[in-house]
Amino acid sequence: MEYIMPGIIAAVLILSAVRRKNAYGAFINGAGSGLSMIKSIFPALLCIMTASSMLRASGALGLITRLLSPLADAAGIPADVLPIALLRPVSGGGSIGLLADILNTYGADSFTGKAASVIMGSTETTLYCISVYYAKTRAKSTGKILAIALTCDAAAAVGAVWAVRLFCGA
């Protein structure tokens, strides 16, 4: 396992030498392109990360969870996994932190742990992806895309819980 990365690097260098390509020049050009892309998407990333931190730190996530708990209960979704379903479209890192808390509290083999894990795997960091894409393409109209994407995330979260209930029992 420890030889995979050196092996890949060696293979790239050998292939570059065989094809008579400038590996160093290609690396420098690629790094420059990557840095210019980071420069163009950084403001959107900073906004999303700030919003995610504020959502957790302000207690707004807990308030929204309490407000939506009756609706989640009616849909068969445990209130304990609702914060992941709400935070996942905003922040991958924040939702991973919530998942770790759930797994530490309930265990990986519990219904809540399984449901939270499947939600993490079946949903996307929607706002992050949209902000990066639209920052790079400079497109202006995100309303319909955002509504559709968030609806898909909600359907995926509900479907994840139902799938765990159906296939793993609860």
32-52 per-position pLDDT tens digit:
888 888 887 788 778 777 877
Q: Does 152 have pLDDT greater than 90?
A: yes
- 151 to each of 2, 79, 104, how far by Cα in Å? 42, 19, 29
Please report which confidence band the pLDDT of residue 170 belongs to, taking 50, 70 and 90 as the band edges.
Answer: low
List CB contacts of 37: < 8 A, sequence separation 6 or more.
Answer: 136
Q: Please give the model's pTM, rounded to 2 decimal places.
A: 0.69
Instruction: Give me the percent of the chain exceeding a pLDDT of 70.
Output: 99
Instruction: Give the span between the Cα atoms of 117 and 95, in whole angstroms.
Output: 10
101-149 per-position pLDDT tens digit:
999 999 999 999 999 999 999 998 888 888 778 777 777 777 788 889 9
pLDDT of residue 57: 83
List CB contacts of 17: < 8 A, sequence separation 6 or more.
Answer: 23
